[in-house]
Structure 1
Amino acid sequence: MTAQPPPIGKDLDLNNVTLEKLLRHMTGMNGRLSRLYEAANVSPAIPIELVPTAFKEVGMASEELQVAIEELQRQNNELVGLQQQLVQERDRYRELFELAPDAYLITTTDGVVREANRAAASLLNVAQRFLIGKPFLSFIPLEQRLPWQRKMMQLRSMERSQDWELPLQPREDSCVTVKATVSVVPNLGPSPEAEPYCLQWLIRSLPAERNPVKSLLAGQSRGSVGDASVHKYVKGELIPCKADAIWQVQEGLVKLSTFSENGEEVLLGIAGPSMTFGSGLTSLHVYQVTALTDEVQLGAITWQEIATKPELAQSLLSDISQRLQQSEAFLAVAGRRRVQDRLGSFLLLLKQEIGQPVSNGVRIPVRLTHEDLANACCTTRVTVTRLLGKLQQQGKITLDPKHYIILHD
């Protein structure tokens, strides 16, 4: 009598089913079923002892398929909920971006306009919809275009933002001199493969170059400067969100997160120096802020103060736009199909946002747990651990003595 194969579910944990496990076990089960059918076809009648084994195999396969479907449905529901939260936050910051009093532009590295807010359209005296696709150099006086084109080409090799004073020639208007802050940022548009980077422009009219936020929040840690109070927090400490004020980071890094319906933490962003956050800047009911570095200094700015000081409100909007851009970047990461692509994009985003150049690459100056990375990439901690190990084997990342991730080009 032929030895019966072990049941397909003997070594399969039905509470921790993955597609990889399921496929492996289903392949093994199909092989055993094939052998059963071959044995049945040898003789004119199916041996009676093979029938229970065949039924058991088919029943176990049906049970495992049901478990896999339920697991996939749960993961899909979590992804849908996360996407809805990110879309809500993106829409909120998009509205703030559109209403910002300063001109904001996103262009290709060749200077072709891809995005522009209302203030940019007003400054250049062109309808907002007609700005898209136009070369930014067409708004610089003809005799000065060549040197500015060379400057823009040099930006590709620069890691830090550049502050320029440049002449602008609005459509059917007189030439003006403006201050522009230009940064090279990853291209998170529909076709990032075609051009990995783009240019981000913040344009302000001269001579209004003051930064009232920094003057209000500058000073020692003795408590407050002017009307803005300064607060210190240590690594791991939860930071309360005030209903009547917003926070601005002076020093250190903080983690912004929420929680899904099943209690899992969802990473929303990482705020660094000059970035703003607060319960008044989000529509999420659950909003948690945690200090990520050894020392975090925050300045509290009340809504009443913002309402009575137009210069302060104008300066804050440029900082708020940073959160808009980061929120959209997080949404783009979550939208990638493959887990390895999501993790790779997230590490590149961390490199761009908070990376510190070191001798052998760029260091991520915070130790995010594998659970944090998994939540940001919509996957499991085990998968993140496996992919990080693979990146280390490929030499794309290493860990320094303090276990900070270092990204290599």
Structure 2
Amino acid sequence: MKNDINVNLFAQQIQQINWRLAELYKGATIAPPKPQPELLPVAFKELGIASETLQVALEELRQQNEELAAAREALETERHRYQELFELAPQGYLVTDAEGTIREANRAAAKLLNVSPEFLVGKPLVIFIPQEERRIFRNELTRLHEQQRVYEWTLRLQPRKGEIFDAGITVATSHNGDGKAVTLRWLIRDITERKRVEKALEKNNYDLKQDRPVQAYSKGEIIPLDPQNLWLVCRGLVKLSTMSDNCEEVLVGLVGPSMPFGSCLTALSTYQAIAVSEVQIVSISVSEIAASPHLAQTLLPKINLRLRQTESLLAISGQRRLQDRLQNLLLLLKQEVGEPVAQGTRLSVRLTHQDLANACCVTRVTITRLLGKLQQEGKISFDSKYHIILKEGSI
């Protein structure tokens, strides 16, 4: 606004000069002075050139003023955008001076510390450290002044009127031209749950399904897949499939209890998960797995089982004889979802003829015929709910 006022005032002054110049020129033309009339045209010409020069300067000033205004508006828009990103970030962010006094705080940080953002400003961060650990914190704070890289460590924080929690801290130090620390930028994460999981895993008694919300899906429902999360089956069976070039469904996995699945475990562009029975599953985030080596180590054997199963299905689909494909598929199902009964081994999940056909890469009619033949030979039977029962030693 100040630049606008200066330019406008300059423009008014030039207009007044032009007006006065025009009046003088008009008066001199009507009644030229007698002493030295030959000097007047030269003087007026020079004044006219000066006026034109001023006009050019004015236009340049106006253009520069417009460019400055546009740049100022762009900077203001960018500042608002970054301020919104700062405020709405899911993790806690603080900006402090070199002594640890809070200058800025976003909503997530305020929630972690249980203090409104406006009331955090001006408070030393050390007051949120348990009394017995403040000396260690101050020593670490002094070390930060010399850090030229991002620094990470774990400490405990005590929110106002809240429980102490474990926090993962990432700090970046900003220095001035003299190399002196000026500001510290803090990223704060509550890692209490991660710590609890790691301790439980170290004792080998951690249940991956414990303390996680269970989601249920009915038979035939499509289970949504998220690349940022892994599903773990608690109960039931999930069918994983893709589509062939001729738009036929291809079975690529059967996921039972304690087995994981998700789009993050495949490179297939078309990938679908369908509940074959009543299913209960829990979600584990990929970021949690990446942050916890113990959790990744616990999941690895379960993922390995999935890999072996997929390779078995691939080997079955590659066999030439249809009878061999079906019999080997039934043996695989016996291993995956079989349960002993008086007549032999019962498949705990009822798979449709179409499901079996997709796994064997044949038509449903062919599977129906082959199952009928196996039933006639006494190798399989069906219970009252049409679950397949495999006779011991028959297949």
Structure having the higher Rg: 2
TM-score by length of 1: 0.46
Structure 2 length-normalised TM: 0.47
